[in-house]
Structure 1
Amino acid sequence: MDTITKKEIESHGFNSAQAQRIFRNAKKYMVREKKCDFYSGRKVQRVPAYAVEKLLGMELKNG
């Protein structure tokens, strides 16, 4: 499974605040929709890339 961090979201052209909001919403998506309570933890630093892509409505390109 491909995962993504907040810094990697920033590297796709989002500023720090936007990346943090996207990352936080991806964690919420994983807990609420996919029932993965693991992502409710504060120290989780990676989320599945598909969760971010679903929230943004677009595919993230590598690199």
Structure 2
Amino acid sequence: MKNNPDTMIVDINKASMEQLQYLPEVGPVTAQDIVNGRPYESVEDLKKVRGIGEKTFQKIRPRVKLE
């Protein structure tokens, strides 16, 4: 991806752990938990991931997608 890491939109079912860590409030542990929870059927499913509450979800929602 050639996007700016601070504005990159990532596919939560395909993004690497490194790409997931560009999301606000997502570090290596949360990125691994996102990967472990795949596949996702809805972006809302991220709320089930340990470390992603409503506040964090609202911060990352504009920067995630599913394809």
TM-score by length of 1: 0.42
TM-score of the pair, normalised by structure 2 = 0.40
